[in-house]
């Protein structure tokens, strides 16, 4: 292939990308963004990465059942938080979250996987504006009720780990939580044992052993919790 032909192909590729129409919010979506008081520029950046419709999302329908103390639930509900949710393929969902999470968090928004369906149906991504990142767990009602673990218990643990290791939240649903470590624990074996003690299902119904959990943390740099 000649140099001129290579340059021509490169120019045509750039031209096609530059001239491709930008994705835009529908009038209905713009109205939703305005009604919720969300940042239009940020929502437009999200639109560039997905074709999914923006839908209004309220906090967990199970509400107070997921909180150990009803006063904590009532205090959270007073914030009146409302988010938006989109559906995305399993292949693309994590890419969208990872690309936007830093930009969004700088502006007081959290974007995270809120439902993972392993390819059987689309995953879901939620965007929530709040000044407290732990509100995403309160909003989703994240719990391990089968182990007598409530929203407050999970937040208490996560705050401790966040202080030690720095956690970048990437996923929160009613029965799971995931985050990237900014700093891996010095003693990963000990940390894996602590994770297992708090959330046995990640081993007993997951990786199979604490040793395998340790290796998975080292490989993925990810903290993952899931209660059946």
CA atoms within 13 A on the CB side of 42: 23
Name the 3-class secondary structure at 130: coil
pLDDT, one tens digit per residue, over 16-46 is 444 456 899 999 999 999 999 999 999 999 9
Extended beta strands in the chain, E state: 55-57, 83-88, 109-115, 123-129, 167-172, 176-181, 222-226
Tokens of 119: 């390819």
Asked, for residue 164, whether it belongs to a domain, the answer is yes
- Residue 41 and residue 43: Cα distance in Å, rounded? 5
Parallel, antiparallel, or unpaired: how do β-strands 109-115 and 55-57 relate? unpaired
Asked, for residue 43, whether it belongs to a domain, the answer is yes
Asked, for residue 179, whether it belongs to a domain, the answer is yes
Asked, for residue 133, whether it belongs to a domain, the answer is yes
Burial profile 122-143: b = 16 or more Cβ within 10 angstroms, e = fewer: bbbbbbbbbeebbbbbbbbbbb
Tokens of 164: 């030690």
Asked, for residue 2, whether it belongs to a domain, the answer is no
Asked, for residue 12, whether it belongs to a domain, the answer is no
pLDDT > 80? residue 94 = yes
Q: How far apart are the first and last CA of the chain?
A: 57
Residues in Cβ contact with 9 at an 8 Å cutoff, skipping those fewer than 6 apart: none
- Residue 103 and residue 49: Cα distance in Å, rounded? 14
Residue 2's pLDDT band, with cuts at 50, 70 and 90, is low
The total domain count for the chain is 1
pLDDT, one tens digit per residue, over 199-218 is 999 999 999 999 999 999 99
Asked, for residue 206, whether it belongs to a domain, the answer is no
pLDDT for the residue numbered 1: 54
What is the residue range of 113's domain? 23-183
Asked, for residue 170, whether it belongs to a domain, the answer is yes
């Amino acid at each position: 292939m000649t140099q001129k032909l290579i340059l021509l192909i490169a120019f045509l590729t750039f031209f096609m990308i530059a001239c491709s129409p930008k994705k835009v919010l529908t009038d209905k979506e713009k109205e939703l963004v305005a009604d919720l008081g969300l940042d239009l520029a940020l929502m437009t950046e999200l639109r560039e990465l997905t074709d999914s419709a923006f839908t209004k999302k309220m906090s967990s329908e199970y509400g107070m059942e997921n909180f150990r103390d009803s006063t904590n639930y009532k205090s959270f509900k007073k914030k009146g938080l409302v988010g938006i949710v989109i559906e995305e393929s399993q292949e693309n969902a994590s890419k969208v979250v990872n690309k936007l999470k830093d930009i969004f968090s700088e502006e007081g928004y959290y974007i995270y996987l809120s439902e993972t369906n392993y390819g059987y149906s689309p995953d879901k991504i939620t965007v929530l504006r709040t000044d407290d990142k732990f509100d995403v767990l309160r909003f989703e009602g994240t719990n391990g009720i089968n182990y007598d673990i409530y929203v407050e218990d999970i937040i208490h643990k996560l705050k401790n780990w966040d202080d030690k290791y720095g956690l970048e939240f990437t996923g929160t649903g009613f029965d799971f939580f995931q985050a990237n470590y900014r700093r891996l624990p010095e003693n990963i074996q000990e940390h894996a044992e602590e994770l297992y003690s708090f959330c046995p299902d990640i081993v007993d119904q997951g990786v199979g052993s604490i040793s395998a959990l340790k290796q998975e943390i080292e490989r993925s740099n990810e903290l993952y919790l899931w209660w059946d």
